[in-house]
Amino acid sequence: MAEPPLERAKSPGVPELAGSVQIRHVDAGSCNGCEVEIASVFGPVYDAERYGARLVASPRHADALLVTGPVTRNMEMALRRTYEAVPEPRRVIALGDCARDCGVFAGAYGVAGAVGDVVPVDVEVPGCPPPPEAIIEALRGMTGR
Amino acid sequence: MVLQLLVVAAGAPLLVGLMRQIRARLEGRAGAGVRQPWRDLRKLVRKEAIAPHGTGWLFRAAPPLLAGTTLVVAAAVPLVTADSPLDGVADLFAVAALLALGSVALALGGLDTGTAFGGMGASREMTVLALVEPTILLAVFALSIRVGTTDLGAIVIATASSPLSLISPVSLLAAVALAVVTIAESGRIPVDNPSTHLELTMIHEAMILEYAGPDLALIEWASAMRLTVMLGLFAGLFAPFGIATAGAGPIALLVAVVAFAVKVALLGGVLAAGEVFMAKLRLFRIPELLAGSFLMALLAVAASFFLA
Amino acid sequence: MTLYAWALGLCLAAALVALLPTRAPAVLRPTGAPAAGGAVAERVRAATPTVGAITVVGGAVTAAAGALAAVAGVRAMLGHGWSAWLPDLLPLGGVRLALDPLGGLFTAVTGGVTVCAAIHGIGSGPARATRVVVPLFVAALLLVPAADGVGAFLFGWELMAMTSLLLVLAEHRERPSVRKAALWYAVMTHLGLVTILCGLCYLAAGAVGDGFDQLRVAELSPAARNVIFLTTLAGFAAKAGIVPLHVWLPRAYPAAPGHVSPLMSGAMVNMGVYGVVRVGLDLLRGGPVWWWWIVLALGALSALYGVLHAAMATDLKRLLGYSSTENMGLVLIGVGAAGFFAADGAGPLAALALTAALLHVVNHAAFKTLLFQAAGSVQRATGTRDLDALGGLRTRMPYTTALFAIGALCASALPPGNGFVSEWLLLQSLIHALPASGVAGAVTMPLAVGAIALTAGLAVATFVKAFGVGFLARPRGPGAERAAESPRTAIYGMALAAAACLFLALNPTLVLPALTEAVTEVIPAGRPVTGEVTLRLTTITGSISPILIALALAGAMVAVPALVGAVATRRVRRAARLWDCGAGPVSARMEYTATSFAEPLQRVFVDALQPESAIDVTAVKESAYLVRRVRFRARVPDRVERRLYEPVLAAAVRLGTGARRLADGSVHRYLSYGFYALTGVLIVLAVIS
Ligand code: SF4
């Protein structure tokens, strides 16, 4: 069972968000490895919610996009529109090696590019898939808790 | 009354935070803390509002209307004090109708977007509302017979002065019926799941998918207040202890505030704990649940006559 | 008296104005070739008025008549009643007219509705026949509540039936479906007339004359009173659109022209209620309890049945028609409860219930006039009444949309609408009945409250559907796409009705004193309601203040956005695409329609509604497994019509075809029929004497 956080986050977080980050997850073409890790991040063991992060259903309710996988051609427009739908201030987290630089899918015919080629990325989390600790660290960097 | 408004307005997000915290603890998580909903609200008002293409004045007016109806209800219902200046202005029927007006505003806001989800949420919300309304009115009927009026303050004062009258089949049946209705109106499991991400199962959430920033903050705040008011009303009708009467001193008021907070927190805790161990009902099983509560309310009325 | 006479006179004048010859459209002639006698023809043409001018004058005169009638009615309610006897106008009893508070109330309502409808009608360019008949219809509507004798009453009633039938038929050339609707209407309304005629004549036979005063003191056996009440109740219920006699209503309203349906639904159906109150409570001075149970049960049944079908309807006017059945049902619940309490000896409660019922009549007239006008405007602008094909009228018809919103709020009985006030009064009267009335009351009243409550909930869903699906979002059909705002007079007509709605909603305390006069006339039990700002019930504890609720709401509506604005840091609202899951664009076909909106409710009430659906799958020629087209049809038939009327109609048709064999064209046979009939009668007479 997760315990309440012992120490405060190292970074002050995004000041405008002030300890509350709602996240809309976008699977832009991932192999679903990253999704498994996200699921465990919000589960009882890592419990990202204690740091003020929460998954929401609509990008209108979100402050940050959590994008996984290389951006496939089918998802390119969808990702761009999702980004447009998020009200300011908004942040984008590119989760996993694929999201950062297409990873093992680099150069594949269906891939349009990395997440950074489609929407501006604020935070990158490396790893294939990234360990939950790394994801938590990135989220705490935003909430500042 | 101002005190009561302030208590509800400030306390409602804390109640939601408390309920989330209880759920988190029961699920083995640490939880975000009781103050998290207030942080969410603070952040939401700092974000920008969005006017989706094709929406108009109704879309904009719906959140303030929802919040407005809730505030009026919060002022009229005897939560902390039975001595409201709105006493005699609005009785239980008016309260039920005002709450319905809030739901209607939101449903129209959802319909105004013209998206499938907005319409879906509106349609389902109205279906639930249409079935909840009769139960509320009948339960009110049952409770008002003993006192002879539908005036809320009078009912509460009468019950507080003779608490033994609570131990009767009438109160019990009416309480069960009103409990089901409270759950349905505030969109909790098993009628609706407030934390679902799947649009197809949504009722309340589906209507507000398009709202962002301050609009959303208003809606969330109003929803929290509605939950608080309804739990408080429930507590006031069936456990009217500690509620201040006219001309009460500051100490009595303080006691009343504490009693109110404890009662509502207790009810919220029970509700949250129940949610952890229960799954949401299939949408088309919900009418059966509501029909059951309607029957219960009808029995309460019949009982109140034959036992009187 | 003079006001009322002037109102009737103006109605006739308006009808005459509409009869004037109108200027033919100018004929284009090749220039330089003036026809012989052209100058004279030209002068005649210039002297005759245009169609437009006649419409304006006729409409204005009718509106003035309505206004005068409204004033006359209000004066009668305030105690300036009158009566008159014109012995030479009709054979036998002559014409007795009188305006007492009760009749004054219905006259005032009719007058108000007439003003709105007449103003609305000016801009809609009605056909000539309609222009002539509408004022006559209004005159008939004014005649019925002012009648003070059986002869005048029946004359007015028949005139009302005939003129309204003509109006329903008015657009039969444009739409063939109108003819069937008119046939239903003609049969139902005249069957109703026959029963009323029988009942009232039976009543008059037991009295010394046909004046109402003489009828009030008539000595009748209980059995005769029962027969009179039941027969007249049937006729009045048919006029009020009460289940199971409502079948004409959802047909006739859509068939009638735009500004006529407000008159029919706002003024004419009220006459059914008037009849029940006048005959049951006034002329027969109440009756046994079971009479009023029947009235109450009919009311509850109609309220539920009407609102269920309104919730399912996709045709806007049909929806409003069923909603009339619903509201008349609520009124009858009030009337029934009033009679029940009065028979039980609970006078104050009876007065309260009747006050609630009459206030609901007024409220219903106000909001239904508004809603039907708006529906007429929508139909004119889009060419359709199908909610599934409407939508998006908010940007195209902003005024109509806003006005319809007010009407819908009032019709759904939510505060701060006027429907809420009367339903609140009705519920109060029923709730406090319990300790007073015995076991019968203990069973009836909860059921009645349950029926009203369920009706209220479903009415909310119905009007959210009508407004949200019909006017908001984006257009789903070509008609809605091309829609333009209605003519200015139509908007004025609607605005007037909306103002009346708001006035009634906020200041019922100003209307109620006059209303109580009408109530005390039949149930003398003091004033049931008092108060200036707050509505207080006198005999039971209960109070409400619509205006303060509205003010509190308005205050909160101002305060909340101000509060948010104070703490918000980003003030600019950004325009953005609709959230379409990133795949978009969202098309109008994805919207929820009226059918889909009502689907969950249809599932809930599947046993009561018994909807029908059919799926036709057309396969391609080569293989039965490859589908070329799938057609899905669903409809919610009127069960009463299906179960009750269709068998009767089928039997009548069978009888007719069977009887045709009797008439085979042979003269000998016809002569022998006459002979045998005569002999038969003679034999019977011989046996009897
Ligand atoms: S980073 Fe690794 S786990 Fe994540 S989507 Fe790419 S391949 Fe899958």
B115 contacts C549? CB cut-off 8 A: no
Q: Which of C395, C449, C576 sits opposite B52 (nearest CB)?
A: C576
Taking CA atoms only, the protein residue closest to ligand 1 atom 2 is: A128
pLDDT at B121 over 60: yes
Tens-place pLDDT, residues C177-208: 888 888 889 999 999 999 999 999 888 888 88
C569 CA: distance to closest CA in chain A (Å): 10
Given a cut of 80, whether residue C26 has pLDDT beyond it is: no
Atom of ligand 1 nearest to the CA of A104: 7
SS3 C83: strand
C388 is written with which tokens? 């599934």
pLDDT for res B222: 92
- A106 CA: distance to closest CA in chain B (Å): 31
Q: What local confidence, expressed as pLDDT, does residue C79 receive? A: 80
Q: Which residues are CB-contacts of C43 (< 8 A; sequence separation ≥ 6)?
A: none
Tell me which residue of C304, C342, C322, C170 sits closest to C246, measured CA to CA.
Answer: C322
Please tell me the predicted confidence (pLDDT) of residue C32.
47
% chain B with pLDDT above 90: 14
pLDDT in tens, C436-463: 556 777 778 888 888 898 899 999 999 9
3-state secondary structure of C75: helix
* pLDDT band of C25, cuts 50, 70, 90: low
pTM, rounded to two decimals:
0.91
Nearest CA in chain B to A90: B47
pLDDT band at C630 (very low <50, low <70, confident <90, very high): confident
- Residue A23, pLDDT above cutoff 80: yes
Q: Verify whether ligand 1 is closer than 6 Å to residue A33 (CB atom).
A: yes
Top residue of C541, C596, C609 to mutate, by most chain B CBs within 10 Å, is C541
Q: In angstroms, rounded to a whole number, what is the distance separating the alpha carbons of residues C592 and C583?
A: 18
Does C231 or C582 have the greater pLDDT score? C231
**Window 637-656 of C, Cβ < 8 Å to B:** none
Q: What is the chain B residue with the closest CA to A87?
A: B48
Quick check: B205 contacting A, CB < 8 Å?
A: yes
Hey, of B36, B43, B202, B219, which one would you mutate to test binding to chain A, going by the most A CBs within 10 A of its CB?
B43
Flag whether pLDDT at C604 surpasses 90.
no
**Over chain C, what is the mean pLDDT?**
85
Measured distance CA(C174)–CA(B182) in Å, rounded: 52
DSSP 3-state assignment of A24? strand
Share of chain A above pLDDT 90, in %: 43
Q: Which residues of B touch A60 (CB under 8 A)?
A: 50, 209-212, 216
Which among C570, C577, C583 has CB closest to A84? C577
Alpha-carbon distance of C275 to C192, in angstroms, equals: 12
ipTM over 0.95: no
pLDDT higher than 90, residue C680: yes
Amino acid A10: pLDDT: 67
The string of pLDDT tens digits covering residues C58-91 is: 888 888 888 988 888 888 888 888 888 877 777 7
Higher-confidence residue: C252 or B150? C252
Provide the pLDDT for residue C33. 47
Q: Is A34 in the pocket of ligand 1 (CB under 6 A)?
A: yes
**Tens-place pLDDT, residues B11-36:** 889 999 999 999 888 888 888 888 88
A104 Cβ inside 6 Å of ligand 1: yes
Q: What is the mean pLDDT of chain B?
A: 85
Report the alpha-carbon distance of residue C66 to residue C496 in Å, rounded.
13
pLDDT tens digits along C463-490: 999 999 889 888 888 888 888 888 888 8
Residue C250 has pLDDT above 60, yes or no: yes
What is residue A130's DSSP assignment? Answer: P
Q: Which domains does chain A have, with CATH numbers?
A: 21-143 (3.40.50.12280)
| Interface residue C177 vs chain B (CB under 8 A) | no
Judge if the beta carbon of residue A128 lies within 6 A of ligand 1: yes
Which chain A residues are within 8 Å of B210, Cβ to Cβ?
A: 58, 60
HSE of C91, CA atoms in CB hemisphere, 13 A: 0
Amino acid at B80: V
Angle, helix C418-431 to helix B116-147, in steps of 10 degrees: 40
Largest CA distance in chain A: 47
C321 C-alpha vs ligand 1 centroid, how far in Å? 61
User: Residue C286 pLDDT > 60, yes or no?
Assistant: yes
| Predicted pLDDT at C467 | 93
Mean pLDDT of C565-586: 80
pLDDT tier, C344 (very low <50, low <70, confident <90, very high otherwise):
confident
pLDDT digits (tens, 9 = 90+) for C384-429: 888 888 888 888 899 999 999 999 999 998 888 888 989 988 988 8
Q: DSSP of B204-244, one letter per residue?
A: HHHHTTT--HHHHHHHHHHHHHHHHHHHHHHHHHH---S-B
Residues 18-37 of A with CB under 8 A from B: 18-20, 22
Would you state the pLDDT for residue C548? Answer: 85
pLDDT at C632 over 80: yes
> Ligand 1 centroid to A19 CA: how many Å?
28
Q: Which residue has the higher pLDDT, C209 or C362?
A: C362
Query: Coil, helix or strand for B157?
Result: helix
Mean pLDDT value across residues B106-113: 90
pLDDT of C34 strictly over 60: no
Mean pLDDT, residues A3-30 taken together: 79
Residue A128 has pLDDT above 60, yes or no: yes
B305 lies within 8 A of chain C by CB: yes
- Are A84 and C580 in contact (CB < 8 Å)? no
CB contact at 8 A, C241 and C307: no
> Taking a C-beta distance cutoff of 8 angstroms, is the pair C197, C233 a contact?
no
With CB atoms and an 8 Å threshold, state whether A89 touches B39.
no
Nearest CA to ligand 1 atom 5: A30
For Cα atoms C245, C247, C251, give the angle at the middle one, nearest 5 degrees: 145
| Shortest alpha-carbon distance between residue A46 and chain C (Å) | 29
The pick from A36, A97, A101, A125 for probing ligand 1's pocket by mutation, whose C-beta has the most ligand atoms within 8 angstroms, reads A97
Instruction: Compute chain A's Rg from CA coordinates.
Output: 14
Name the minimum distance, in Å, from the CA of A60 to any CA of chain C: 8
Chain A, chain B: beta-carbon pairs less than 8 Å apart: 82
Does the pLDDT at position C608 exceed 60?
Answer: yes
Indicate which atom in ligand 1 lies nearest the CA of residue A129: 3
Predicted confidence (pLDDT) at residue C148 exceeds the cutoff of 90: no
| Phi, psi values for residue C487, rounded to 5° | -60, 160
B65–C557 CB contact, under 8 Å: yes
What percent of chain C is modeled with pLDDT above 70? 94
The predicted model gives C97-108 an average pLDDT of: 89
Which of B32, B197, B202 comes nearest A49 by C-beta? B32
Does the CB of C611 have a partner CB in chain B at under 8 Å?
A: no
Structure tokens at C492: 């004025």
- Cβ–ligand 1 contact at A98 (below 6 Å): yes
Q: Which residue of C has its CA nearest to A57?
A: C581
CA of C611 to the centre of ligand 1 (A): 51
Residue C613: name the closest of C631, C628, C600 by CA. Answer: C631
**Phi, psi at residue C631, to the nearest 5°?**
-115, 135
Q: Is the pLDDT of residue C655 over 50?
A: yes
Measure the CA–CA gap between C474 and C303, rounded to whole angstroms.
32
Instruction: Answer whether A83 touches B (CB < 8 Å).
Output: no
